[in-house]
A and B are shown apart, each in its own frame.
Chain A
């Protein structure tokens, strides 16, 4: 299945740093996403990213993960030659990721 079926996401930027939130639709799926979406998995999904570090932050109370991709935006909105200089499309492209289905659960959210 696609990550799109389990989570929604929003991209932002500060300077040349991209900032992506991934939020589980169902809180019960948060541990599954937390296990899957490591910084290495994010880098593997975006092979053309410049080599800056990727930090992950966990926000369990909002069943959300935050990825900060340093130096990922080729200079950012005021310098980059990219059409999407903000990296606004990164979140949607991340949601295309093929992921295994979460373990079946009877949890009612």
Chain B
């Protein structure tokens, strides 16, 4: 809200679609054709539509998820309730490529190992396939005067590049400019991760007032040079260090960050500290875009079970390890067909990796929590695992405390590459009038 009210923005972008989110949204839509968009869409639009309309800030968001058309109806309804007349609300669709992918021999980039190497090996478990669209269809809607653009799967940086290409008339083959706009998007897309979130380390990397962390904005010039900053007085920090961490975040090869729009090269990036919470970014260049588009493929991947129980006081670690042995033995004896299982002690070795701590000299923690996780073929098998952990209350080591358990179907994601000419984005723009029925 700070950004919408005080950022003096031309464009406000909500990037809200994680890798698996769109697959879960597709399942929602199968159950109810009017659902399948982001659950917070209505609340967010209620908060920002009025200040954005008042200040002429245009909104771009991928909160349409699996159903941009239904999401656009929600935006129109919120606008109507707020008495905002004459908003143009646009949709970008065409990212759903299930028909192009299902049953094909397209190789999987990150599959479930030996069990499947192409889409056809996943058989009927495939539930969704969404291609990462680029900036072009968003630009089309902006050229038609869209005030709010609701998309499904679009590459995160493309949501930010599109308005820059639209405003500055950047040609879609001017790779260095597109790379700079992509860098803007890459820095802003994780929001608070640029301003001290996922960075703070008290005593080493102190960040003030994370509880009201200010989200970032970029001021971009026509030549693609830009400065990132945040609203004065908001929480967090924006420094050379936070910008370096986020510029390199998840890019793999910094000289070849691939998007639908460009191959961006951040490997010679240069950052300049201009003032408190203001950093200039230069040295970004780019090359021709990839000839393929990446698509995320969602598939039913069996069932996951978790069960946890805590132990405290003297010998807590030994009791938790004994509890793990009991569950492990019982799962074997009862012909419990887990395909894969893990037994970790939260507080000892559940998320800690590496050789930096010597477990033989580590201080005994005051409490630990056993976590058992398993993959099963049926929901009933997954629920039995929780029952075994719950049995530790009465039948395990002394002082077992706070059992929790969960069993659910797992939807996993893999990726394929598609020839880009097969993917056909579609756009639509609707004028919203106060009296109209959405």
A66-B248, A83-B371 known; A89-B254 Cβ under 8 A: no
Q: What are the interface flags for B240-271 relative to A under an 8 Å C-beta threshold, 1 for contact and 0 otherwise?
A: 01001111111111110000000000111111
B216 to chain A, nearest CB (A): 16
Interface residues of A in 8-28 (CB under 8 A from B): 8, 10, 12-17, 19, 21, 23, 25
Instruction: Write out the residue numbers on chain A whose beta carbons fall within 8 Å of the beta carbon of B241.
Output: 8, 23, 25
- The reply on A48 being an interface residue by CB < 8 A is yes
- The reply on B354 being an interface residue by CB < 8 A is yes
Instruction: Write out the residue numbers on chain B whose beta carbons fall within 8 Å of the beta carbon of A95.
Output: 356
Instruction: Write out the residue numbers on chain B whose beta carbons fall within 8 Å of the beta carbon of A66.
Output: 248, 251-254
Interface residues of A in 78-109 (CB under 8 A from B): 78-79, 81-84, 88-90, 93-98
- The reply on B198 being an interface residue by CB < 8 A is yes
- Complex Cα distance, B346 from A53, in Å, reads 29
- The reply on B329 being an interface residue by CB < 8 A is no
- The reply on A77 being an interface residue by CB < 8 A is yes
Output the nearest chain B residue to A10 by Cβ-Cβ distance.
B245
Taking a contact as CB atoms under 8 Å apart, the answer to whether B283 and A47 are in contact is no
Taking a contact as CB atoms under 8 Å apart, the answer to whether B269 and A62 are in contact is yes
Taking a contact as CB atoms under 8 Å apart, the answer to whether A64 and B252 are in contact is no
Taking a contact as CB atoms under 8 Å apart, the answer to whether B198 and A76 are in contact is no
Interface residues of A in 29-86 (CB under 8 A from B): 44-48, 55, 57, 59, 61-62, 64, 66, 68, 75-79, 81-84
B1 to chain A, nearest CB (A): 27
Contact of A96 among B245, B248, B249, B356 (CB under 8 A): B356
Contact of B354 among A8, A46, A61, A88 (CB under 8 A): A46
Taking a contact as CB atoms under 8 Å apart, the answer to whether B269 and A61 are in contact is yes
Taking a contact as CB atoms under 8 Å apart, the answer to whether B342 and A81 are in contact is yes
Taking a contact as CB atoms under 8 Å apart, the answer to whether B413 and A78 are in contact is yes
Instruction: Write out the residue numbers on chain A whose beta carbons fall within 8 Å of the beta carbon of B335.
Output: none
- Complex Cα distance, B412 from A84, in Å, reads 16
Q: Assign chain B's interface to a size class.
A: 35 or more
Contact of A68 among B252, B269, B354, B415 (CB under 8 A): B252
Instruction: Write out the residue numbers on chain A whose beta carbons fall within 8 Å of the beta carbon of B100.
Output: none
- Complex Cα distance, B343 from A82, in Å, reads 9
Q: What are the interface flags for B98-119 relative to A under an 8 Å C-beta threshold, 1 for contact and 0 otherwise?
A: 0000000000011011000000
A79 to chain B, nearest CB (A): 5
Taking a contact as CB atoms under 8 Å apart, the answer to whether A83 and B350 are in contact is yes
- Complex Cα distance, B356 from A96, in Å, reads 5
B187 to chain A, nearest CB (A): 13
Instruction: Write out the residue numbers on chain B whose beta carbons fall within 8 Å of the beta carbon of A90.
Output: 353-354
Instruction: Write out the residue numbers on chain A whose beta carbons fall within 8 Å of the beta carbon of B248.
Output: 10, 21, 23, 59, 62, 64, 66
Interface residues of B in 343-365 (CB under 8 A from A): 344, 346, 350-357
- Complex Cα distance, B221 from A104, in Å, reads 42
Kindly name the residue among A2, A16, A48, A61 whose own CB sees the greatest number of chain B CB atoms within 10 A. Answer: A61
- Complex Cα distance, B412 from A14, in Å, reads 13
Output the nearest chain B residue to A16 by Cβ-Cβ distance.
B110
A78-B413, A81-B341, A83-B346 known; A23-B245 Cβ under 8 A: yes
B178 to chain A, nearest CB (A): 20
Instruction: Write out the residue numbers on chain A whose beta carbons fall within 8 Å of the beta carbon of B350.
Output: 82-84
Interface residues of B in 43-67 (CB under 8 A from A): none
A70 to chain B, nearest CB (A): 10
Show 12 A/B contacts (Cβ-Cβ < 8 Å), sorted by A: A10-B245, A15-B109, A15-B415, A17-B110, A17-B252, A23-B244, A59-B254, A61-B268, A82-B351, A90-B353, A90-B354, A97-B356
User: Other CB < 8 Å A-B pairs besides A78-B411, A83-B346, A88-B351, 15 of them?
Assistant: A4-B204, A17-B110, A19-B251, A19-B252, A21-B249, A45-B356, A57-B267, A62-B244, A77-B20, A78-B412, A79-B301, A79-B410, A81-B341, A82-B351, A94-B356
The 5 closest A-B pairs by CB, nearest first: A96-B356, A15-B110, A12-B250, A84-B351, A81-B373
Binding site for A on B (CB under 8 A): 19-20, 109-110, 112-113, 198-199, 201, 204-205, 241, 244-255, 266-271, 283, 301, 304, 340-342, 344, 346, 350-357, 371, 373-375, 410-415
Binding site for B on A (CB under 8 A): 2, 4, 8, 10, 12-17, 19, 21, 23, 25, 44-48, 55, 57, 59, 61-62, 64, 66, 68, 75-79, 81-84, 88-90, 93-98
